[in-house]
Amino acid sequence: MTASAWVLVAALMLASALERLGPWLWARRRPPSERAARWLEHLAPAAFAALVVADLPRSGSPAVVAALAAAAVVGWTTRHLGWAVVAAVAAAALGRSLAGW
């Protein structure tokens, strides 16, 4: 593994620890403002939406549509990320087989 990969792991580990534990310990002394908490509630949907677009492949539209539709339906009904991912991959594989993508 390269030095930059080690730096990546170390930085993400530190950031994750700070994000999870830091505010919890800090909240014992001083609770966060309600306004900041409300702003943070809006962050996750926007971040996930941007990442959907960023990770979409540039080609293979029938399989892409099948995969995303399957993930949306399974994820919405089961509320399970794991099964939604399995459904997406299965639908994409089926689309690939049928359409020769």
Partner 1 sequence: MGDVLPAVVGGYFPAAVAFGALARLLHLPWILAVLLSAVVYSGALQSAVLGLWAVGADVPTMVGVGVLVNLRHVFYGPHLERLHPEWSDRARWAIAPLLTDEVYAAAVAHPEWPARRLFALAAAAWATWQAGTWVGLGLGALVPAGWTAVLALALPALFLTLVLPRLRDGATAAGVAAAALLAAVVRWRGAPPSLLVVPILAGTSLSFWLAERRRRPAPGLGEGRG
Site for partner 1 contains 42 (CB under 8 A): yes
Residues 61-90 as x/- pattern, contact with partner 1 by CB under 8 A:
--xx--xx-xxx-xxx--xxxxxxxxxxx-
Site for partner 1 contains 31 (CB under 8 A): yes
Site for partner 1 contains 100 (CB under 8 A): no
Tokens read off for 61: 């539209």
C-alpha–C-alpha distance, residues 39 and 88, integer Å: 31
* Minimal distance, residue 34 CB to partner 1, in Å: 10
- Taking alpha carbons only, the member of 65, 47, 43 closest to residue 56 is 65
Contact 74, 83 (CB under 8 A): yes
* Minimal distance, residue 8 CB to partner 1, in Å: 5
Q: How many residues sit in the footprint of partner 1 (CB under 8 A)?
A: 72
* Minimal distance, residue 2 CB to partner 1, in Å: 8
Burial class (CB in 10 A: 0-12, 13-18, 19+), 85: middle
